[in-house]
A and B are shown apart, each in its own frame.
Chain A
Amino acid sequence: MDLSNADSLAYHVPELVLAGGSIVVLLLDLFTRLKARLGEVALLVVATSVLAVGFGAGADQGYLFNRMVALDSFALFFKLLLGFAALGAIWMSTGSRELDGEHPGEYYSILLASTVGMFYMASATNLLTAYLALEFVSLTSYILAGFLRHRARGAEASLKYLIYGGVASGAMLYGFSLLYALTGTLDFIELGHRLSTVAAVPGNGAILFIAVVLSLAGIGYKIAMVPFHQWSPDVYEGAPLPITAFLAVGSKAAGMALLIRFFYPALSSPAGDGTWIALHGVGWPALMSVVAMATMTVGNLTALRQQNVKRLLAYSSIAHAGYMLMGFVVLSDAGLRAILFYTVVYYLMNLGAFAVLLLVVNQTGREDIEAFRGLAWRGGAPAAIAMLIFLFSLAGLPPFAGFIGKAYLFAAVIEQKMWLLAFVAAANSVVGLYYYARVARAMFLDQPLAGDPEIAVDLSNGLLIGMLLAGTLVFGLWWTPIVNFADRSLVFFGN
């Protein structure tokens, strides 16, 4: 199926709903007195969009808008996940004190627009759409990261994000232009066909390698991959907490989707037995394997000495990007399935940890580990237990979902006999356990001081934490439905 512009619209309902919703929210803010209810409106818009994505499951697959956008199971999987990430972020925003009275119209409108951009990142099949989608998400994220303008940290985070992002996307564009110069096409699939002949010409290998590395800068920066990760701790710390959660979960998943879509159809080809063959002469799997090891190690080692929990979770999310990249470098369907599964698990446990942090920040105004001191003994026992489970799941301990996610990633790596990668990841998991346990120790073993406020769990945040907790627990014991869904989602472009 290869539809023209007008015919594509019928298959494009989720994006249209989000884009329309973004404008409606802005208009409601301008012309009505619904300011306090805009969060609910945004929630409704995303929920409608997610439903529309869901109803599209099982429909025809192929290309939309003259091969600019793909309509396939892979895109559907990530759109569902990104929709849920947006739902979580908006839900958290409605219950966040730091966002009270902060221009809700603009805030929710830009958040919805950012989600549209992520949808396109997950379904781009052309260098042009990939660039537009990536840039769309970046531009909206710059604004959201600096949304609390009265805070010095917010403005600083926004500028750092903008500078790193601008350079990364500029480098990526240059890489794209080299790919275009070498092949004369922007289409991912066509690129894959032509690159195999281009790579065979002596002398092209070096240019192709430079093009791939430069292209990687733009996409790698979105998933906070070493060495393009420097922005992420600063931005995560300076941004409003729901936005931090949205960037950590949504932006990362969308970046992962684009990374897979770009590298798998364009820079490798299926071997037929569930493995993939990388484009000859570029050697990107070896490069990415080094990058994966560096990413998890840098993330974990730097997380060790963090006092701010938001910043600690930022470094932990860098480490998790490293784990996910393990599934990317093994060049097998098992690895891709493990990534997809891990993004779901990561969504549940990471958003959960942020939701508990939001609860603490709301009532203490602080983000450091000290704010968690004796959380279990001052009214926050349910929250503390939930946080413990989220942290243990992030550390990869059984019987939680994080363990299953990691098990699939390790299995994919060991299947391809990449022992060094497996060893580095195992060592990193041990390091990770240490800093997650630090937060846990503060919550349970430290006693609260006299001045520490009571932490009560309110209904809205409690409900969100409860749902994420249920997911983390249930998928730790009964994970086959998600794995099967991930398996079915490995269909690119209806092939």
Chain B
Amino acid sequence: MSMTTVGLAHYLVVSVVLLCLGLYCVLTRRNAIGVLMGIELILNSAGINFVAVSRYGSAGFDGQVFAVFIIMLAAAESAIGLAVVLGIYRRMRAIDTSRLTTLQG
């Protein structure tokens, strides 16, 4: 594959980068919304893989369908995540995950 045309390998590299950024975000962010955004990045990195493989491989349409489901469920997960964060904000006036230390041991 020449470097001038965009192929499967390029998409896979982007998705790996996105996965790493997502994991980094989840591990370093103290802000709960930031952590949720990191999770979103991880989900989308997998989505890129599915679409790219489906487009460039001989695998048919399954991957594309899978990606649509990922987008849908990511939205559902964000909705619940934000509701939970909102509940915590109402109670503690903060969404700093390092302050959630009632449950330990």
Question: Do chains A and B stick together as partners?
Answer: yes
- Report whether A156 and B53 are in contact in the complex, using a CB–CB cutoff of 8 Å: no
The reply to whether the CB of A466 lies closer than 8 angstroms to some CB of chain B is: no
Closest CB in chain B relative to A317 CB, distance in Å? 16
- Report whether A155 and B91 are in contact in the complex, using a CB–CB cutoff of 8 Å: yes
- Report whether B84 and A162 are in contact in the complex, using a CB–CB cutoff of 8 Å: yes
Chain B residues with Cβ below 8 Å from A181 are: 12, 49, 53, 57
The reply to whether the CB of B2 lies closer than 8 angstroms to some CB of chain A is: no
Using CB atoms, name the residue of chain B closest to A135. Answer: B73
- The residue that B87 contacts in the complex, of A146, A171, A177, with Cβ under 8 A, is A146
**A86 vs B35: C-alpha distance when bound (angstroms):** 32
- Report whether B105 and A305 are in contact in the complex, using a CB–CB cutoff of 8 Å: yes
- Report whether A156 and B22 are in contact in the complex, using a CB–CB cutoff of 8 Å: no
In the complex, how many residue pairs between chain A and chain B have their CB atoms under 8 Å apart?
A: 128
Chain B residues with Cβ below 8 Å from A13 are: none
User: Contacts A166-B77, A186-B66 hold; do A180 and B103 have CB atoms under 8 A apart?
Assistant: no
The reply to whether the CB of B14 lies closer than 8 angstroms to some CB of chain A is: no
- Report whether B49 and A180 are in contact in the complex, using a CB–CB cutoff of 8 Å: yes
- The residue that B46 contacts in the complex, of A159, A177, A184, A238, with Cβ under 8 A, is A177
Using CB atoms, name the residue of chain B closest to A161. Answer: B84
The reply to whether the CB of B59 lies closer than 8 angstroms to some CB of chain A is: yes
- Report whether B87 and A153 are in contact in the complex, using a CB–CB cutoff of 8 Å: no
Mask: chain A, 128-148; 1 = CB below 8 Å from B; 0 = not: 100110010001001100100
- Report whether B19 and A186 are in contact in the complex, using a CB–CB cutoff of 8 Å: no
- The residue that A152 contacts in the complex, of B39, B59, B91, with Cβ under 8 A, is B91
- The residue that A160 contacts in the complex, of B19, B57, B103, with Cβ under 8 A, is B103
The reply to whether the CB of A234 lies closer than 8 angstroms to some CB of chain B is: yes
User: Contacts A139-B76, A167-B26 hold; do A184 and B39 have CB atoms under 8 A apart?
Assistant: no
**A153 vs B84: C-alpha distance when bound (angstroms):** 12
Mask: chain B, 39-66; 1 = CB below 8 Å from A; 0 = not: 1001101110110010001111011011
- Report whether B81 and A166 are in contact in the complex, using a CB–CB cutoff of 8 Å: yes
Chain A residues with Cβ below 8 Å from B60 are: 184
The reply to whether the CB of A173 lies closer than 8 angstroms to some CB of chain B is: yes
- Report whether A233 and B103 are in contact in the complex, using a CB–CB cutoff of 8 Å: yes
- Report whether A135 and B57 are in contact in the complex, using a CB–CB cutoff of 8 Å: no
The reply to whether the CB of A170 lies closer than 8 angstroms to some CB of chain B is: yes
- Report whether B62 and A166 are in contact in the complex, using a CB–CB cutoff of 8 Å: no
The reply to whether the CB of A178 lies closer than 8 angstroms to some CB of chain B is: yes
- Report whether A306 and B46 are in contact in the complex, using a CB–CB cutoff of 8 Å: no
Chain B residues with Cβ below 8 Å from A163 are: 26, 32, 35-36, 39, 97
The reply to whether the CB of B17 lies closer than 8 angstroms to some CB of chain A is: no
**A156 vs B92: C-alpha distance when bound (angstroms):** 11
Mask: chain B, 15-32; 1 = CB below 8 Å from A; 0 = not: 100010011001000001
The reply to whether the CB of B13 lies closer than 8 angstroms to some CB of chain A is: no
**A317 vs B88: C-alpha distance when bound (angstroms):** 28
- Report whether A184 and B84 are in contact in the complex, using a CB–CB cutoff of 8 Å: no
20 A-B residue contacts at CB 8 Å?
Answer: A152-B91, A158-B84, A159-B32, A159-B88, A160-B103, A163-B35, A163-B39, A166-B36, A167-B39, A170-B45, A174-B42, A177-B46, A178-B49, A184-B57, A185-B62, A234-B104, A237-B103, A238-B103, A305-B105, A306-B105
Residues of A participating in the B interface, judged by any CB pair closer than 8 Å: 127-128, 131-132, 135, 139, 142-143, 146, 149, 152-153, 155-160, 162-163, 166-167, 169-171, 173-174, 176-178, 180-181, 184-186, 233-234, 237-238, 305-306, 311
Q: Given contacts A153-B103, A180-B63, A234-B103, could you give 5 more A-B pairs where the C-beta distance is less than 8 Å?
A: A142-B81, A173-B70, A177-B53, A181-B53, A311-B105
Residues of B participating in the A interface, judged by any CB pair closer than 8 Å: 12, 15, 19, 22-23, 26, 32, 35-36, 38-39, 42-43, 45-47, 49-50, 53, 57-60, 62-63, 65-66, 69-70, 73, 76-77, 80-81, 84-85, 87-88, 91-92, 97, 100, 102-105
Closest 3 CB pairs of A and B: A170-B42, A177-B49, A184-B59
